Structure 1
């Protein structure tokens, strides 16, 4: 199987940036992380499926499989729905608190304190 290196490296960069953005406390950055991560995974699926009109593995005579393209189209629709949902969450958070930062919950603080006491 031959794999084109530049699209594969672009997939790795997009997935890395997307995961990094998802780990941020800002909801807008998390939204950007979801979009970038989904684009990286979609590019990875298309890259791994092979050249258009050719089989993904060289040396076989079978026609190209349309499944990767169908999976990417489905992933695009799902990403659109998730993006709209997270965008609504960001907007509502901005309306209620005036910020898009995710704060710690009081119960999270209690659990953290209990775990620290148990570790000592």
Structure 2
């Protein structure tokens, strides 16, 4: 099988569109770009898999002259599909968590800047997940100090 020009063009367009969309700031667009790049990779593996042939299982009924297909590209494609699915699930969970924290505020699912510019403050994109007062922190530290004092070495010294 020779590589079809149509498949090569489709693969190139999918890679280009996927990379372009992945460079956006929206997490949903990053997910769409990743899906495009993953499918373009599957098409690339399919194009490079070589000529078609009989199944690589020898059962005695096939002739020895018939060319067998290489099973490695099939395995690589299945592995790429599984990896693509796993990362898609992770990105969907990340998008959902980002949406949950932002509560569909003014940002939506857009990733905030890491640095502050001259016209805006850096504290406008902070999240207050848990309010912990000083007494709670002191109680945690005291409890950890008590746990350290119960080591076997200190018990032997006390006897």
- Could you state the TM-score of these two structures normalised by the residue count of structure 1? 0.77
Structure 2 residue 111 is the aligned partner of structure 1 residue 102: yes
Return the index of the structure with the highest Cα Rg.
2
Q: Mind listing any 5+ residue stretches in structure 2 that lack a counterpart?
A: 55-65, 118-159
Structure 2 residue 27 is the aligned partner of structure 1 residue 23: no
For residue 12 of structure 1, give the secondary structure of its aligned residue in structure 2: helix
Q: What's the C-alpha RMSD, in Å, of the aligned pairs?
A: 2.0
Structure 2 residue 42 is the aligned partner of structure 1 residue 33: no
Cα distance in 2 for partners of 1:95, 1:25 equals 18
In terms of fraction of residues, the more helix-rich structure is 1
Q: Mind listing any 5+ residue stretches in structure 1 that lack a counterpart?
A: 55-60, 110-120
The one of the two structures with greater contact order (alpha-carbon pairs below 8 A, sep at least 6) is: 1
Cα distance in 2 for partners of 1:7, 1:51 equals 15
For residue 38 of structure 1, give the secondary structure of its aligned residue in structure 2: helix
Compute the displacement of 1:2 (Å): 3.1
Cα distance in 2 for partners of 1:18, 1:37 equals 5
Cα distance in 1 for partners of 2:52, 2:14 equals 22
